[in-house]
Amino acid sequence: MAPPGSWLSIPANSHFSLANIPFGIITSKHSQAEKRPAVAIGDHVLDLKAFATENGFSGLPSLKESLEVFSQPTLNAFAALGQPIHREVRKYLQDVFSEATSHPQILKDNTALQKAALLPKHETKTHLPMQIGDYTDFFAGINHAFNVGTMFRGPANALQANYTHLPVGYHGRASTVVVSGTRIRRPNGQTLLDPTADPKVPSFEPCRRLDIELELGCFLCSSNPLGEPVPIKKAHESIFGFVLMNDWSARDIQTWEYVPLGPFNAKNFGTSISAWVVLPDALDGFRAPKLKNETSILPYLKEDREDSVYDIKLEVDLTTPDGATTTISRTSGANLLWSFPQMIAHHSVGGCAMQTGDLLGSGTISGKGETDLGSMLEMNQAGKREIMLAGMDVRKFLKDGDTVTIRGVCGGEEGALVGFGECVGTIESAVVFTS
């Protein structure tokens, strides 16, 4: 089916086609830098506060009592309205932007509202889309888990015994999740320069093994009370939408600190996410089966369908300070053993209260080859080889001034792409300690 056309000029290769309609938070000079909900459409964004204020939602009377959600500085209130409302709003906005819109008076023929609410994207700035209550990072990319496990324990013992029985995860740091474009400062920390020394004596210095982790993030749109698990059959209803994520990782700090309670300072110095939240409805046509799990899983994790992940084409670019860009990975978002509904069901099974605005990370997404890996640790084979870059340059890990750009997009049909835009971060040099 050819995608419906829009009266608005949308570039054919835009991630933000009429088939997408992702939500975010913007500021612009038009609104004196007030944070406002918005949707991205082609090279424009629709300021939903301005749109709602000027009767843009008058064609959707069911939303009338809820319009204040578009006057909030985050998407939490909109998300908390639940999936049926997200669906209605998205469909309505698709109609509003359609060439054959049933509401031409709303925006197509309303140049005053276009001027007030439809802003060129380059004149706006994006912000963290949600106030994040808790951030949990999972480890559902089995190829990554296998690759990294092999480095430490060999292929026969690469995966821990629990790995195929439950989606392994850990609590992350919510306060340091930042929106795409935020610069990331290289962390200082304790590292063990000579792991063979006895006794082991750590050094304190800037991280030498600064890495990326290519992940997908999932924002929640509902809350369950403490002590009341979210059943697997309902878990998909808790999903507001998805973002790209870069879980920056300090490998040398991690190696020294993580026993026995898991990663801490190795991760909490920054986690980048893309700015636009793509709704599950927009991704529904790109469902794909999870990776095959040979283990018989417990009933509380059993889904009705296997195609509960998405074939999102993911790419990672590394741009060196001299401006040369190399695509260092191309993989698929379907490279997961566990889906987000399974993660939600597991996370809450003991009674953990999940909340609107919570962020779940998938864990690093790697394929099984050499060019589809989600971390530099895997690309450089635990530091054993250089990653080849454009311009005769090489890297094992990130240098100061390096920029990492993750992109994700679904579909191949021009004019109907459903994409995430970019998740970008540039590395700043570490703080100089003088104490």
**Residue positions in the annotated binding site for Ca(2+)?**
137, 213, 215, 247
Catalytic residue among 15, 44, 144, 346: 144
Its sign, for the CA torsion 91, 92, 97, 99, is positive
User: Per rule CB under 8 A, is residue 324 in the interface with a second copy?
Assistant: no
Of 310, 335, 371, 311, nearest to 143 (Cα)? Answer: 335
Return binding residues.
137, 139, 153, 213, 215, 247, 254, 258, 267, 271, 364
CB of 96 to a second copy, least distance (A): 36
Residue 44 appears among annotated catalytic residues: no
Token match 């570490």: residue?
A: 430
Task: Assess 59 for contact with a second copy (CB under 8 A).
Answer: no
The answer to whether the beta carbons of residues 209 and 251 sit under 8 Å apart is: yes
Give the integer Cα–Cα distance in Å for 429 and 400: 5
Please give the Cα distance from 209 to 376 (Å, whole number).
9
Task: Name the segment binding a second copy (CB under 8 A); options: 80-88, 194-202, 276-284, 408-416.
Answer: 194-202
Q: How long is the chain?
A: 435
Q: Single out the residue of 167, 141, 165, 145 nearest to residue 336, CA to CA.
A: 141
Residues 173-192 that bind a second copy (CB under 8 A): 173-176, 178, 182, 185, 187-190
Identified binder of a second copy from the candidate list 9, 32, 162, 196, rule CB under 8 A: 162
The residue to which tokens 């506060």 are assigned: 49
**Residue 182 identity (one-letter amino acid):** T
Asked if residue 51 binds a second copy (CB under 8 A), the reply is no
- By beta-carbon proximity to a second copy, the closer residue of 165 and 330 is 165
Position 204 contacts a second copy (CB under 8 A): yes
Question: Distance between CA 277 and CA 243 in Å, rounded?
Answer: 5
Q: Which 115-134 positions form the footprint of a second copy (CB under 8 A)?
A: 133-134
Q: What is the DSSP string of 143-203?
A: HHHHHHHHHHH-GGG-S-TTTTTS--EEE--GGGEEETT--EEPPEEEE-S-TT-SS---E
Q: Is 229 in the site for a second copy (CB under 8 A)?
A: yes
Nearer CB in complex with a second copy: 277/352 = 352
Kindly tell me which residue out of 257, 303, 372, 378 binds a second copy, with binding defined by CB under 8 A.
257
Q: Which residues are catalytic?
A: 144
Site for a second copy, rule CB under 8 A: 133-134, 139, 160-162, 165-166, 168-176, 178, 182, 185, 187-190, 199-202, 204, 207, 226-229, 231-233, 250, 253, 256-266, 268-270, 298-300, 346-347, 349-355, 358, 428, 431, 433, 435
